[in-house]
Amino acid sequence: MQKESKLNAENRQKTSGRGSNKVPIGSADFLAPESLEKALDYRKRYGFEATVIAGGTDIMVDYFERLYEVNSWLDLNKIEELKKIEINDEEIIIGATATHKRIAEHPDLQKYLPMLAHASSEVGAWQIQSRGTIGGNIVTSSPAGDTLAPLLAYDAKVVLQSKGGNRILDMSDFFIGPKENVEESDELLTKIIIPKPSENILSRWKKVGKRKALIISSLTMAILIEIDNDGVIENARACYGAVAPTPIEVKNVGDYLKNQKLKEVDAKKVGEIAVAGISPIDDIRGTEQYRRQVTHDLTVNAIKEMAEEI
């Protein structure tokens, strides 16, 4: 006989979504407000009882073969103001239901936020980019979410709106664990605010996955470095996905790089600091050892390449 630990129901063959004995509900509500105000009313009234849906590319997968469990849907697609992308002198404001496709192809975002545009163009494939939204990617809060490391690197803030008012949070304060965040039951994530990057910015985005499309990342990296005219680093942020319970910035990398001349940076040392700052686990997309080694190598290469770029 095998050890008892293996002989439990947890070990049964997993199939997505199955195993619930909930009886199907004949009719659910489908709420599709046309204004944000109305949506916030619903949110207050229904709370977590209503499942918020925008593009649906995550939530429909979560509810694969058990859609009947959803009592009420709150669909955000008819709210025009949530789709807006605005750029002013200081900030770039992206509505929560802007799709990956629009972000990837937006000329200003390609110019100012190339890592985000690039990451958006690598989410799933076209069909997913058509529907999937940046807000959805954030709210799903997967440690591997493709747009999240770039958003952290760009120092993005998220706006959580409710009938009671607004909360503006740093992205890094939004995530609290794998697929967990601080959004309250009466709140909706409505927009993402990103300080407009200065002219002297270098950045590197990299997604590692087991194939080139339709793939959940094994690891993502977004490094942003701001330099002055002498090539001295004024500010740096090294952010990673799928190497910790949430997407993270390794602050020690930024601290280490600050005030150094980019050309003189010890890239290997940066790689070591990056690895020391992550806490990866083994899962089907990669093992801990793999993630540590790749975090190191990608970081070292990125630093070297950026140094060569100036």
Partner 1 sequence: MEIKFTINGEERTEQIKPNQRLLDLIRKDLGLLSAKEGCGKGECGACTVIMNGEPVTSCLVLAAQADGAEILTVEGLAEGDKLHPLQEAFIEAGAVQCGFCIPGCIMTAYCLLKTNSLPTRQEIRTALAGNICRCTGYQKIVDAVQLAADKMAAGGEG
Partner 2 sequence: MNDLKQVNKSKKRVDAKAKVTGKAKFGADLKFANMLYGKVVRTKYPYAKIKNVDISKAEAYPGVEVVMTAKDIPNNTFGVIIQNQRVLAEDEAIYIGDGIVMLAAESKEAAEEAAKLVEIEYEELKGIHDPLESRKPDAQLVMEGTDSNQVVHHPLRKGDVETGFAEADLILEREYSTHYIEHAYLEPEAVTVVPNERQTLVSVYGSVQNPYATRDAVARVLEADLSQVRIIQDNMGGSFGGKDENISSMAARAAVMALETDRPVQMVNSREESIIESYKRHPYNLKYKVGATKEGKLTAMEIEAVADSGAYACQTPFVTWRSVVQATGPYEVPNVKTDTYGFYTNNPYTGAMRGYGSPPTCFAQESLMDELAEELGMKPDQLREKNMYRQGSHTASNQKLDNHTVSLQEVLDKAKESINYDKKYEEYSKEQTGEKKRGIGLAISYRGVSLGAEAIDTTGGIVAVQKDGSIILYCGLAENGQGLRTVFSQVVGEELGVNLDRITYMEADTSVAPESGSTVASRSTFMGGNALKKAAKNVKETMIEFAKEEYGVEGEIIFKDNALYTDSGKKIEDFSKVASDAFHSGVFLSSYGWYKAPKISWDEETGQGRPYFTYVYGCQIAEVEVDTGTGQVKVLNMAAAHDVGKAINPANVRGQIYGGVVMAVGHALMEDLGFSDGFINHTNFDEYLIPTAKDIPDIDAIIVENPDPAGPYGAKSIGEPTVELGGAAINNAIALATGERHYDLPLNLERVLIGRDLSREG
Contacts to partner 1 by CB under 8 A: 16, 25, 27-30, 32, 53, 56-57, 60-61, 64-65, 67-68, 70, 73, 75, 77, 101, 124-128, 130-131, 212-214
Q: Give which of partner 2, partner 1, none residue 30 binds (C-beta under 5 to 8 Å, depending on kind).
A: partner 1
Closest separation in Å from C-beta 87 to partner 2: 31
* 63 is a contact residue toward partner 2 (CB under 8 A): no
Contact by Cβ (8 Å): 182, 87 = no
* 214 is a contact residue toward partner 2 (CB under 8 A): yes
Q: Name the segment binding partner 2 (CB under 8 A); options: 17-25, 38-46, 70-78, 236-244.
A: 17-25
Q: Give which of partner 2, partner 1, none residue 301 binds (C-beta under 5 to 8 Å, depending on kind).
A: partner 2
- Nearest in space to 74 (alpha carbons), one of 127, 135, 146, 158: 135
Q: Look at residue 24 and give its three-state secondary structure.
A: coil
Q: x/- string (CB under 8 A) for partner 2, residues 118-157? A: -------x--------------------------------
Residue 32 or 169 with smaller CB distance to partner 1: 32
CA-to-CA distance for 92 and 228, rounded, in angstroms?
A: 22
How many residues bind partner 2 (CB under 8 A)? The answer is 40
Total number of residues shown for the chain: 310
Residue 77 or 293 with smaller CB distance to partner 2: 293
Contact by Cβ (8 Å): 274, 238 = yes
Q: Give which of partner 1, partner 2, none residue 56 binds (C-beta under 5 to 8 Å, depending on kind).
A: partner 1
Contact by Cβ (8 Å): 193, 156 = yes
Q: Is 65 left (phi over 0), alpha (psi -120 to 50) or beta?
A: left
Q: Give which of partner 1, partner 2, none residue 235 binds (C-beta under 5 to 8 Å, depending on kind).
A: none
In the chain, at which residue ranges do the beta strands (DSSP E only) sit? 29-31, 50-53, 72-75, 85-87, 91-95, 157-162, 165-170, 175-177, 180-181, 188-195, 201-208, 219-227, 233-241, 248-249
CA-to-CA distance for 226 and 222, rounded, in angstroms?
A: 13
Task: Give the footprint of partner 2 on this chain (CB under 8 A).
Answer: 1-2, 6-7, 9, 11-16, 18, 20-21, 23-24, 61, 65, 68, 125, 208, 210-216, 218, 282, 284, 286-287, 289-290, 293-294, 297-298, 301
